[in-house]
Structure 1
Amino acid sequence: MWRHGLLSLKRSLGVATEWRCSAAFGQTYPLAAPLSNVASDVEGDDEEFRVFIVAGEPSGDVIGSRLMGSLRRLSPKPLRFSGVGGANMEKEGLNSAFKMEDITVMGAAELVPHMFRIWRRLRQTVAAAIDFEPHVVVTIDAKGFNFRVLRSLTAAYEKKKEQPPFLVHYVAPSYWAWKGGDARLDTLKEFVDHLLCILPFEAPMCKAHGVGATFVGHPVLEDAYMNVSSGDSNANRNWEMQGFGNKFRDQHSLQSDAKVISVLPGSRAQEVKRMLPLFRDAMHRLAEDYPDITAVIPTPQSSIVTNMVQESVSRWEVPSVILPAASDLEKYDAFAASNAGLCTSGTAVMQLLLARVPSVVAYRANPITEWLIKSRTKLEYISLPNILLNSPVVPEALFGECTPDRLAFLLKQVLEDQKMQEQQRTAAEQVLCMLAPPSSSLMYSADASLLAADEHSQKPSMAAAATILDFFGLLDRPKKSPISY
């Protein structure tokens, strides 16, 4: 009762607008603007704004840390955070309720051995959220765990007959990719107040099913802003991250003409355990044609994954450079030094795209999980660039076809076929344009009323933070907007 009444009020205040990607595409997407100001206790007696935030995997930890920083930059009130996250969110001041790795599991079959621990952590998360008395709860991706958190919180507050906090989920679930996804999307309004979408077509789709949503841009584009600190102030406008490849080769004694492959087996322990042996064997086969080949392997901010990679790679016959707990800048320097990339499907393919590194995408899972994916998916491709362009621009080796021989063959193609390399570079510009945040200066006339008037206003995390704060009337708006609706 409380939930449905509050939702009706919130959704009645939404405003729709549009953004256009570029003349090259001629595509216009509806965009759900942040909700109008609503009176809340934040504007009254509370001297602080409390945010309970939950990330369940490394990519979500990065998104969460950036959102925390942007909220702190935009909020006129002091912020206090609590929740669950990894090393990046802890650097922003989060004292995580437990190690994020305890809930970092992907896949139906893969989940079974960890069920008891995850259910225990779920109860712990819900209890911590209620005890914290947040104004807003933000869950990031990892819908298997996070949707259970949001459902449990909704039920707990309804049982107490108390108004719940504002419930936000960042990174909308890809229900559009699955058979029966529309029916599942219909259920989100029962426990989600607002979705922060990273793909432009998701917001109108969610709104059509009664779920408040805002497109805030793809998080990977935020990496491009690191170029600004290195002196390239225009790099972010081209959505390209340019590392220092020559410096990286010098630091690691790599010859200028040596073939370097960035190898990214994943950020979750179960992914790395499954994919790294395949990547090792593929590199060994590739070394038969390229004796001077070197693998560069950045590891995520996870000691478990880093130790796993170091132990495995120490036995490789192919020369390798491991970058333990690599920073973003270290990773992009490695990409700039690379001739090609080999990655597990996920965030890594988008980072390689941003760095303009021609790449190959691979994916294997538990046989039961693979069967579920193949039986339920509506899509022909698994990587986001191929999905958005509806074309296999980035070669994919999936499921049973993901073998060392197949991976080595595709990598050799990418290394030698200049036309394929150029196609990937062109695709990168197209895809990243489509994913640009609504305020992208060259592709969209920014609505300054939704953004901070500083150099960071185009970042996806700033758009996400502005959406959240605007609901509580905590976003300062200029008197005039450069856009008329």
Structure 2
Amino acid sequence: MLKVAIFTAERSAEEISVSLLKSIEKVQIFKLYAASSDFLAKKFNCELIYDTSNLNAIGMVKSIQKALPIANYIRSVSERIKDINPDIIIFVDFGGTNVRLAKKLRSIGIKAPFIYFFPPGPWGKTQDEINNLAQPFDLFLVPYKFYLEAYKRTGKKTFLIRNPILDDESKIFPARSLSFGTGKINIGIFPGSRSQEVDWILPFVLDECMNKRNNFTFNIYPFGPLEKNIFKILISKKISVEEKTTKSVDAAIVTSGTMILRIIKENIPFVGVYRIHPWDFFFYKKKLERPNQVFIPPKYNDKRICFLLPNILLGKNVFPEVLFPYEKLWDKVEYTIKNRDALLEASKNVISELNDESYHKDLGTLIFTNIKIKPQPLF
């Protein structure tokens, strides 16, 4: 039977991997070996080779703090993969670490085709840097048009693929929420699935929302695996919540890029909150000031570039985003409520951009027609 190894490090990467693996399964039955959480193991014939639940990080500063666990991960997985000897290896998102891991696996003689699903974004990189990170890989499946030419110029096979979230038919509402406040306007708070999004960004969001609880009702939606963390934060801030089922919200505060795409699909105006470390911003700014950049995101204001994917896709500052605590969150929430219709129209433009016919859907066939691998017996 075909042996497939997949490397993910966060829930969103695992969620988008499901449709990819199902598409491969239609062409060839396989045994899956996953470095992930137990999410994939519940959906496939899967052997979990490493629990990556605590490896993800946002930004350079947080990544440095994870340096030792990631080094241990790469060493452990490299030894395990030698024993498994997979027929195909798939890397999903998690740019810096997956590139390091792929180079390590090549250095120890792993010859299976390497597929990168959602490779690192091209912003802040020169073509030479893209060429360098592309070395160990055989096939790139990129999710957005602004990735395409940079990866094609590496000489590796590169295809534009449709983000699986766009084809996910599950709806956000009705949903269980943790609610507080007494106002008539409902604001949804959507923490992400990464620990940093919940443990570091959510407290900042709640501090601003608590000051407005007499005028608004806030509904927290714990969609990811970190519900216990959310309750700990609520207890630490002495916020009493009521558990209820809600059918809609008037606007959303979102801390996750993956959830932003789901929110856009549901026609909800939103504020994106990333809250990066100031040192990270200094690092990104310096990178984007270098010559010969493959891609530079549009400007958000005179001080910085856009970080939200929808703004990058549209090529201009449309959706409000909060990057630092000094950027007042509540001003952006009020802007979102007042400009609801314009933001919903912009959301339609984003979906239209991601829905055109240039995006490939049949990923299983795409993969097997572009890698060298012999058909395997079913049993």
- How far apart, in 2, do the equivalents of 1:358 and 1:371 lie? 30
CA gap of 1:321–1:212, structure 2 versus 1, over 3 A, is farther
The aligned counterpart of 1:194 is: 139
Does residue 85 in structure 1 map to residue 85 in structure 2? no
SS at match of 2:115: strand
Q: 1:410 aligns with which of 320, 328, 332?
A: 332
Task: Give the alignment of 1:169-208 within 5 angstroms.
Answer: 169-175=116-122, 177-178=123-124, 180-208=125-153
Does residue 309 in structure 1 map to residue 230 in structure 2? yes
Instruction: Give the number of the structure whose residues are more often helix, by fraction.
Output: 1
CA gap of 1:349–1:401, structure 2 versus 1, over 3 A, is farther
- How far apart, in 1, do the equivalents of 2:97 and 2:249 lie? 36
SS at match of 1:385: helix
- How far apart, in 1, do the equivalents of 2:86 and 2:161 lie? 23
1:140 is displaced (CA, Å) by: 0.1
Q: Which runs of 5+ in 1 are unaligned?
A: 1-47, 158-162, 227-241, 324-332, 437-442, 447-457, 477-485
SS at match of 1:338: coil
In the alignment, is the contact (CA less than 8 A) between 2:8 and 2:92 conserved in 1? yes
The aligned counterpart of 2:324 is: 399
- How far apart, in 2, do the equivalents of 1:67 and 1:253 lie? 35
The aligned counterpart of 1:426 is: 345
Does residue 214 in structure 1 map to residue 167 in structure 2? no
CA gap of 1:193–1:112, structure 2 versus 1, over 3 A, is same
CA offsets per residue over residues 57-92 of structure 1, 9 Å max, x none? 1111111223222222x22x4211112112331112
Q: Which runs of 5+ in 2 are unaligned?
A: 289-295, 298-304
- How far apart, in 2, do the equivalents of 1:320 and 1:297 lie? 12
CA gap of 1:128–1:322, structure 2 versus 1, over 3 A, is farther
The aligned counterpart of 2:58 is: 106
Letter in 2 for 1:134: P
In the alignment, is the contact (CA less than 8 A) between 1:393 and 1:424 conserved in 2? yes
In the alignment, is the contact (CA less than 8 A) between 2:190 and 2:254 conserved in 1? yes
- How far apart, in 2, do the equivalents of 1:390 and 1:155 lie? 39
CA offsets per residue over residues 227-252 of structure 1, 9 Å max, x none? xxxxxxxxxxxxxxx5544xx58x98
TM-score (norm 2): 0.85
How many correspondences in the alignment?
Answer: 360
Q: 1:279 aligns with which of 205, 210, 229?
A: 205
- How far apart, in 2, do the equivalents of 1:253 and 1:117 lie? 36
In the alignment, is the contact (CA less than 8 A) between 1:294 and 1:319 conserved in 2? no
The aligned counterpart of 1:364 is: 275
Letter in 2 for 1:362: V
1:186 is displaced (CA, Å) by: 1.4
Q: 1:346 aligns with which of 242, 251, 257?
A: 257
1:205 is displaced (CA, Å) by: 2.9
Task: Give the alignment of 1:367-378 within 5 angstroms.
Answer: 367-377=278-288, 378=296
- How far apart, in 2, do the equivalents of 1:64 and 1:282 lie? 35
In the alignment, is the contact (CA less than 8 A) between 1:83 and 1:128 conserved in 2? no
User: Comparing 371-380 with 310-319, which one deviates more in the overlay?
Assistant: 310-319
CA offsets per residue over residues 294-326 of structure 1, 9 Å max, x none? 32222412xxx3221111123556664679xxx
Does residue 68 in structure 1 map to residue 21 in structure 2? yes
The aligned counterpart of 1:136 is: 88
Q: 1:300 aligns with which of 193, 215, 224?
A: 224
- How far apart, in 2, do the equivalents of 1:352 and 1:321 lie? 23
CA offsets per residue over residues 113-135 of structure 1, 9 Å max, x none? 33222211111112222221111
The aligned counterpart of 1:23 is: none
Letter in 2 for 1:108: M
SS at match of 2:219: strand
In the alignment, is the contact (CA less than 8 A) between 1:342 and 1:359 conserved in 2? yes
Does residue 388 in structure 1 map to residue 313 in structure 2? yes
The aligned counterpart of 1:467 is: 366
- How far apart, in 1, do the equivalents of 2:19 and 2:37 lie? 12
CA gap of 1:257–1:174, structure 2 versus 1, over 3 A, is same
- How far apart, in 2, do the equivalents of 1:370 and 1:265 lie? 22
Letter in 1 for 2:197: E
- How far apart, in 2, do the equivalents of 1:270 and 1:56 lie? 13
- How far apart, in 1, do the equivalents of 2:139 and 2:229 lie? 38
SS at match of 2:66: helix
- How far apart, in 2, do the equivalents of 1:469 and 1:257 lie? 55
TM-score (norm 1): 0.68
Does residue 145 in structure 1 map to residue 145 in structure 2? no
Instruction: Give the number of the structure whose residues are more often strand, by fraction.
Output: 2
Letter in 1 for 2:314: L
Letter in 2 for 1:393: V
SS at match of 1:88: coil
Letter in 2 for 1:164: K
In the alignment, is the contact (CA less than 8 A) between 2:322 and 2:329 conserved in 1? yes
**Structure 1 vs Structure 2 CA RMSD:** 3.0
**Which of structures 1 and 2 has the bigger CA Rg?**
1
CA gap of 1:203–1:306, structure 2 versus 1, over 3 A, is same
